[in-house]
Structure 1
Amino acid sequence: TITGNMSTLTPPVSLENPDNQWRVDYIQDVASQRDFDYPEEFYDHTEILWKDKGVLACYDRSNEYQLIDCANFLDRVHIVRKPDYTPSEQDILRCRVLTLGIFETTFQVEKVNFHMFDVGGQRDERRKWIQCFNDVTAIIFVTACSSYNMVLREDPNQNRLRESLDLFKSIWNNRWLRTISVILFLNKQDLLAEKIKAGKSRLEEYFPDYARYQTPLDATVEPGEDPEVVRAKYFIRDEFLRISTASGDGKHYCYPHFTCAVDTENIRRVFNDCRDIIQRMHLRQYELFDSVIR
């Protein structure tokens, strides 16, 4: 993906070493093959290209095209290429698989059964959602906070985070969902922090209101957390809460959580909180149903 976009960017990016072009051609050729068994030369070419400053410059501009987050494996080709390599828990967590269709999962935690549907967030997948919303207790809405400077896969002129806000608004205001609360996962906090601290893509360049935003008094600061990162993540949180509080009907609520999917301890704490929230919602729905029957 990186080498394939070097010529499509404006302005385009050139290889630092033109002699590497044949390596690019090789990588692009084998990447299009199915069931490709990676030979040693594939890893050799990848490691050499990853040191080319032109390739790195294109990688730095990955917000201008579509690049999956698991590109960080390029820093570890020397490990991944070993015959005895076994993916670690972190390796698996960092893998990205595009969700197409609807995936249903049932699991039990402390004798409580949970029924979860994972649905694709792409525009052409959203029309399939409605069949999942019948008799649900809660909606878990996941947004990538690090996407504030990225474009949509389906529309290169649409900002990803703005698309997420628009989608959240359409779900929140949907008349068929006005009694279903939303658990908001403000995800990829690690990548958001990296971008904010790097300073290459300033949040106010994409969301001008950020320039006037001040960190709220209710902000919880983690030990050693950069104040600007705290300000950025709470700004994004408040953009969503501004939508959820605008209706003010009191029939459903938004529960925001800052998440990092590759931080297992963070996800464990968040899941415990969400489990309690979902159980309370279920009891509330049961009480409402019981009162109607009576």
Structure 2
Amino acid sequence: MLAVALGLYAALLIVPILCLVVIEDVHPTIAPIVDQVLGADSLNDPAGLAVLLILIALMLPAATLAVRLVGRRRAGTLLSVTGRLRWRLVGRAAAITTVVLSVFTGVILLMEPPTKAIPAQDLGWLVTKVILVLLIVPWQAAAEEVVFRGLLLQTVGSWLRHPAWAILLPLPLFVVGHDYDGYGMAGVAVFAAVAGYLTWRTGGLEAAIGLHVVNNVGAFILALLTGADLDATSVDPLAAALSIAYTLITAVLILGSRRNERHPVASDRERSAGSVWSDERADAFFVCEGGAKTETSARSE
């Protein structure tokens, strides 16, 4: 299934490029625009920002199509034990992340106030970039969760029984996809481990998606408003430490917000009984609530 997902992703990348090349040949007058899109490689440029985010977001249809075609099961089985997205959990995780991120952002700005003023002539581009972030980043973040904490976690979980393998083995792939220095990579690694743990504990991707979407949107907008270089790869050690602390605190609060629910994952699984989880082709989700471990596993394709 992973090979099929990779092949579909390659196709989703190649087909639009071929279409743009054909359009350039048919309509030479728009060749400069096509060249700008095809040559986009900087997040500081609106075209580059849009293209690079969309390239990541295309992993989402690739993964879901692979599950449908090869796994012969609903794409919703990548999302949770219910076979669908539990929007209440997404909203709760997003709200908690917004509050914690706002506090940490305020602390960072107090410690190091921005020194660059955005020129008036650049305000139009700033608004354009903010709109692009709000429109595309949620899909980009969700795509990464579906692939790394959905498809890969379930695949590894169906091969190896202990959930630590499912959480940790896909982690290096996620980390190397982010071009940062050692401090930045450490922050990304902690984020990936926390997202995987949230997926295991809650029985789905919703908490990780809420965390990831708000984190990325907030980081992009903060960088845009402070005039930071979006292509920067070096991360200050203190900023990395604050990022790790923020991620861990947010995860604790998200999990704590579900403690007032009586066996929330078990209830979700009961509501989905006879549908998704009666399908033996569904991959593994490992769930631990209240210290009692249960496993829902089945054959992997």
**Shorter-chain-normalised TM-score: which range?**
under 0.3
Q: Which has the higher strand share?
A: 1
Q: Which has the higher helix share?
A: 2
When the two structures are superposed, what TM-score results if normalisation uses the length of structure 2? Answer: 0.26
When the two structures are superposed, what TM-score results if normalisation uses the length of structure 1? Answer: 0.26
Q: Name which one, 1 or 2, has greater alpha-carbon Rg.
A: 1
